[in-house]
Structure 1
Amino acid sequence: MLRPVSTVSALADALRQRVLSGEIDPGTPLPEQELAALYGVARPTVREALAALVHEGLLRRERNRSAYVPEVTIEDLDDLMFVRRPLEDLMARALAGRRVPEADAALERMAALPDDAPWSDVVAEHMALHAALIEAVGSPRLVRLYGALAAETRLGLVGLRRVYEDREQLVAEHRALLDAIAGGDAQTVVKEHLGHSWGSDPLR
């Protein structure tokens, strides 16, 4: 049972971890009554927690239907990368020759995660790394544009847990990305990084 202090936030965190670790499959309904019984909280608490995740884009809710995890298809991912790539290119050009300490720190936290860490922790550090790079550019509009893709990106990363069973590969790719940016020649690496992530179908 969750403790009454910040119960909505605690429940939202618990559900977020389950979604981002792939424990809850896309399309699985999340009835309020069942969640209330499972976590030992009141239905209004469940309703608020679900609303928070809907606002984040991690859940979807339609009229007369329980909240559910939206499906992100390989076609969705291809389109997501189509839109993300020019934003990442802008970032790489703007940061050429620089290191971003916050991105380096996120990478080290990812590398230091225990072997049995939930995939949601890997997703969190992955997102923190890329967000730190985008924010370091200093363009509020670029941050807003990138932020609009955050929910779909996080949901897409759920599928990558099958591609990156050895987390060291993911760490190595991002270390190469940060080193290439610091070296001033990251465009090719950015293209390869995004293309490689979705080059095989991680959802099947």
Structure 2
Amino acid sequence: MWPNSARGTPWCCTPRGVAATAPHRHRHLPVDAPRTAPSGPWPLFADDRRIVERFRNPSVVPLPELRFTAPMSDNVLDELDEDRKLLGRTSTAERVAGILRSRIIEGGFQPGVRLAEEEIGTALGISRNTLREAFRLLTHEQLLVHELNRGMFVRKLTVEDLEDLYRVRRLIECATLRQLSAPPYPQRAVQAMEEAVAAGRSAAHEHRWRDLGTANMHFHQGLVALAESPRTDEMMRGVLAELRLVFHVMENPRRFHEPYLPRNEQILRTLRSGDAPGAERLLAGYLDDSRRQLAEGYARQLG
């Protein structure tokens, strides 16, 4: 990714809002040019000047330091090579984004990890443009963040982000239960909740606490599916994907998942009895307690 191509423009140095394939002033800059910004429609930014100076005289101006917490693991690259089969002959940015989203949610790419464009593109067998479009989609979903001159990183959430996610969860999940009429409720959604509870019991019995967290997420995704709204389902998937970025950095996942399994079971029993308002009250208390506990633990984790 450095330099990016024969055209000479590093993608990470392209001015924001300008396509990476646009003509760039750097390749037209002669070695003996005066050290001033050229005239024309392409103003040099501060970091750009430092990079140009570096090319002229490496001993004068150091390049900006790359800051990332950890490299990508070989395991996740091997898994991406397997994911390549899912793309088929119609490789699209949306499908690539779906694969990367799943790897982020599952913890293959940890928060703060820099995503190596060349390695990921090679593993998936896709073009650079397709991968960049997938990165753009995931940035829009707030799972990735682009840092100028540094590249693309898995986003690290703040405590304020966490609080906001729980506000959104309360709005979506409680409203879903509030709008339910008399039973029977949508069977596929109820079945998804039942399967999530069963998967949670199995994971807890075997002390698989990360898997218990996944089952917990599936329970709440199933709960929102009671609304039978594809748009609400999609919104909830995005919220839970962001929330996983918090759980991935917590040191004691058991503490944050095990106490909520019986509360999931209680909400499900209350729904089966036809008491949707009662289930909503249980859920509101559940979300308040979960938000408080997770926010306190996450703040300590961040230091």
Pairwise same-fold verdict (TM > 0.5): yes
- Bigger RCO of structures 1 and 2 (CA < 8 A, at least 6 apart): 1
Matched, 1:174 2:264: yes
Q: Is the 8 A contact 1:106 1:126 kept in 2?
A: yes
Among 212, 234, 253, the alignment partner of 1:163 is 253
Q: Tell me how large the CA RMSD over aligned residues is.
A: 3.7
CA offset at residue 169 of structure 1? 5.6
When residues 43 and 126 of structure 1 are mapped into structure 2, their CA distance, relative to the original with a 3 A threshold, is farther
**Counterparts of 1:1-204 in structure 2 under 5 Å?**
1=81, 2-3=84-85, 5=88, 6-8=90-92, 11-61=96-146, 64-95=149-180, 97-98=182-183, 99-110=185-196, 111-112=198-199, 115=203, 122=215, 125-126=218-219, 128-133=221-226, 135-136=227-228, 148=235, 150-160=237-247, 162-164=252-254, 170-181=260-271, 182-184=274-276, 185-201=278-294, 203=298, 204=301
CA distance in 2, matches of 1:124, 1:88: 12
When residues 18 and 65 of structure 1 are mapped into structure 2, their CA distance, relative to the original with a 3 A threshold, is same
Q: Is the 8 A contact 2:210 2:253 kept in 1?
A: no
When residues 89 and 121 of structure 1 are mapped into structure 2, their CA distance, relative to the original with a 3 A threshold, is closer
CA distance in 2, matches of 1:123, 1:190: 13
When residues 149 and 62 of structure 1 are mapped into structure 2, their CA distance, relative to the original with a 3 A threshold, is farther
Deviation readout 1:107-164 (Å, 9 max, x if unpaired): 234334885798596476245313303x24x7x9xx56x8556524322134346535
- TM-score, with length taken from structure 1: 0.70
Structure 1 residues without counterparts, runs of 5 or longer: none
CA offset at residue 20 of structure 1? 0.6
Partner amino acid, structure 1, of 2:240: T
SS at match of 1:60: strand
Computing the radius of gyration from Cα coordinates, the structure with the larger value is 2
Structure 2 residues without counterparts, runs of 5 or longer: 1-80
- TM-score, with length taken from structure 2: 0.51
Identity value in percent? 25
Partner amino acid, structure 2, of 1:89: C
Q: Is the 8 A contact 1:123 1:157 kept in 2?
A: no
Partner amino acid, structure 2, of 1:178: L
